[in-house]
Amino acid sequence: MAKSNMLVYKRLLRYSKPYTRRIVFAMIASLGVAGTDVAIAKLVQPLVDHVLAERSMSLVNLAAMVVVGLAAVKGASRYVQEYFMKTAGQLVVQDLRNDLFCHSIDLSMGFYSRTPAGSVVSSILNDVGMLQKSAADELVAMVREGLTLIGMVFLLFYNDWRLAIVAFVVLPVAVVPASHIGRRIKKYVRKSLANMGILTSILQESFSGIKVIKAFGTERAEKDKFGDENWNFYLRMKKVIRYDAATAPIIELLASFGAAGVLWYGLQRVMSGAITQGELLSFIAAMGMMYGPMKRLIKTNNVIQKAVGAAERVFDLLDTPVDVTDTLDAIELPRSRGHVSFEHVDFGYDDELVLKDFTVDVLPGRMVALVGASGAGKSTLIGLLARFYDPQQGVIRIDGQDIAHVTQDSLKQQIALVDQETFLFHDTLSNNIRYSNLQASDEEVENAARMAYADEFIREMPQGYETVIGDRGVRLSGGQRQRICIARAILRDAPILLLDEATSALDTESETVVQRALANLMQERTTFVIAHRLSTIMHADEILVMEHGKLVERGSHAQLLAVDGTYRRLHDLQFKD
């Protein structure tokens, strides 16, 4: 456990390195805070033994000025310390959140097929949020109280080492329960954050699928699911609160033994004349001021343990390997002619292969349709070409270049995707189209929209191209969303086009318009089309029929109908009426 904590601290310290100057300023200011506390405790002795004994008004006036002066120094030091330490903490957490987001974006589609997106969102927001509060706020308290504690310890031994030993008998005993409590808090914080990840996933799914929930009247089921997981989160947090709440009473009880011992032994030394009343009061004041920082440090340790639990989850995500990366010898792929070949490709998401020994060669400018039952491997094939995943065996080439040995940026420039899930951003229509080419001019955006038969309905919108279309394009119909996605692909101007069920969810009228837009898009491009409606791919140059991850038939529509095989069976099922 201690080794694990140390590794987390070291990684956090590496993030702190760029802000060393701020931390140094904060540490210097912390010395001012601790020094004034020590000075106040030390001044009790002369106040009792000299000012009160001599009854001198000049000394009384001086004492008042000293108290005000120390308060001013402490206030200024505390401001400087908190400002620089908290801003350093915020900057550290900001860098960590940026790294976490960038790393998560780089993770492959394979990772996201295994991990709920809500869990990743929860790590970036909730885990880092807990770390942010602890790193920025509690670090200030830890430095300040730590230095104050050191100063008080020095003062106690300086005043009377015998009384100091009595006072410190309780300190080693207090460390044991504090350490145990900290470990338990860290354990349950990790579990509660896992619950929060599930809660975030439920929220994301519920609001993304609100139309389905409303349509089937399953609001009560969703409420129950959320309520159950929220209750599980409470049960975990209850244990954190229970251990956290136990800290102060335990430490106060243990501290009372030290205080009682000092009072008993100290009064005997005063009565014997070994020390003055002022020295005893000064010692008791310092001891009281020492136990305060000690209690606060142990309380701070609980919060730090919460941060460590959150940091471990953050670093677990940061340490997730990016399994689709550029090789060291990766080259830039120039603009492709569109010659695509699959050579003996095997691929599986887990142990079971989805594609088996798949081999096909597609010449530039040809339209290839992929047909087959659900689960045959059609979408996987497109995902492999876009390098969402890497195959377990075999090679995929574009213009003779193995795509595993070209840079991902240059590969993506060769490909435009129109997916069955028409994802649009909560942004303007123009920015949604421009997403495929961020440097495109307004004129180029509008030209792409015209080719996609989207310009007419866009100009009828309240603000035209600057209309914000809502979350996932909720203000548009299915056909309109699809045409915006096609305009986005046209603007990409890529030589290879991937169409995954691009018209599957459209009505006949919308499909007719979208098909015309797709015809514009496919001109002079190598096109891979996945379609369950065979009527949409009859004119393809070649149709590949897949079954259980294997290529079982290939040929034109007429050629495949002439063969009494899988394609003929699929065709007869669709057109039997």
Q: What is the mean pLDDT of residues 200-204?
A: 77
Please name the residues in contact with 238: beta carbons below 8 A apart, sequence gap of 6 or more: none
Higher pLDDT among residues 276 and 73, named by residue: 73
Determine the Cα–Cα distance for residues 99 and 97; give it in Å rounded to an integer.
Answer: 5
Please return the burial class of 523, using the count of CB atoms within 10 Å of its CB with bins 0-12, 13-18 and 19+: exposed
Six token digits for residue 344: 């003996």
Q: Look at residue 137 in the predicted model and tell me its pLDDT.
A: 59
Q: What is the mean pLDDT of residues 417-424?
A: 78
492 pLDDT higher than 60: yes
- Hey, is 323 helix, strand or coil? coil
The more confident residue out of 237 and 280 is: 237
Q: Which residue's structure tokens are 């206030």?
A: 75
Domains 2-318 and 324-335+363-390+404-414+495-577 share a fold: no
| pLDDT-wise least confident of 43-47, 160-164, 333-337, 539-543 | 43-47
What proportions of the chain, in percent to the nearest 5, are helix, strand and coil?
70, 10, 20
- Provide the pLDDT for residue 233: 81
For the ranges 45-54, 189-198, 269-278, the lowest mean pLDDT is seen at 45-54
What pLDDT shows up at residue 123?
Answer: 82
- How does residue 18 score in pLDDT terms, banded at 50, 70 and 90? confident
Q: Are 261 and 166 in contact (CB under 8 A)?
A: yes
SS3 for 433-483 is HHCCCCCCCHHHHHHHHHHCCCHHHHHCCCCHHHCECCHHHCCCCHHHHHH
CATH fold, domain 424-493, is: Rossmann fold (3.40.50)
Local structure of residue 364 (DSSP, 8 states): T
Q: What is the dihedral of CA 403, 407, 413, 419, to 10 degrees?
A: 60
CB atoms within 10 A of CB 481: 24
Q: Where are the domains of the chain?
A: 2-318, 324-335+363-390+404-414+495-577, 424-493
Superfamily of structural domain 2-318: ABC transporter type 1, transmembrane domain (1.20.1560.10)
Q: Rounded distance, CA 322 to CA 111, Å? A: 9
The type of residue at 136 is A
Structure tokens at 439: 């440097």
| Alpha-carbon gap, residue 448 to 432, rounded angstroms | 12
Band the pLDDT of 395: cuts 50, 70, 90: very high
Least confident span in 131-135, 253-257, 259-263, 267-271: 131-135
Q: What residues contact 417, with CB distance under 8 A and at least 6 apart? A: 382, 386, 489, 498, 500
Query: Which is it for strands 542-547 and 550-555: parallel, antiparallel or unpaired?
Result: antiparallel
Q: How far apart are the first and last CA of the chain?
A: 69
Q: Can you give the pLDDT at residue 405?
A: 92
Condensed to tens digits (0 to 9), the pLDDT of residues 547-557 reads 888 888 888 88
Report the alpha-carbon distance of residue 328 to residue 546 in Å, rounded: 35
Q: State the average pLDDT over residues 17-40.
A: 80
Mean pLDDT taken over the chain = 78
**For the residues 392-396, what does the mean pLDDT come to?**
90
pLDDT at 472: 66
Give mean pLDDT, residues 430-437. Answer: 88
Q: What is the pLDDT of residue 397?
A: 92
Closest CA to 487 of 451, 511, 513: 451
pTM of the model: 0.71
- Which tens digit of pLDDT belongs to each residue from 33-73? 777 877 776 666 666 666 556 666 666 667 677 778 888 88
Contact 266, 163 (CB under 8 A): yes
Q: How confident is the model at residue 133 (pLDDT cuts 50, 70, 90)?
A: low
Percent of the chain topping pLDDT 90: 2
Residues 73-97 have a mean pLDDT of 83
pLDDT recorded at residue 484: 86
Domain spanning 324-335+363-390+404-414+495-577: which superfamily? Answer: P-loop containing nucleotide triphosphate hydrolases (3.40.50.300)
**Residue 258's pLDDT is what?**
67
pLDDT at residue 92 greater than cutoff 80: yes
Q: Helices (DSSP H) in 209-325: which residue ranges?
A: 210-216, 219-272, 277-318
Instruction: Tell me whether residue 228 is exposed, middle or buried, using C-beta atoms within 10 angstroms of its C-beta: 0 to 12, 13 to 18, 19 or more.
Output: exposed
| Mean pLDDT along residues 222-236 | 84
Per DSSP bridges, beta strands 340-348 and 393-398 are: antiparallel
Tokens for 516, please give them.
């015309």
Whether 126 contacts 193, CB under 8 Å: yes
Q: Which amino acid is at 156?
A: L
Residue 371 predicted with pLDDT over 60: yes
Residue 283 CA to residue 45 CA, distance in Å, equals 9
**The predicted structure's pLDDT at residue 89:** 79
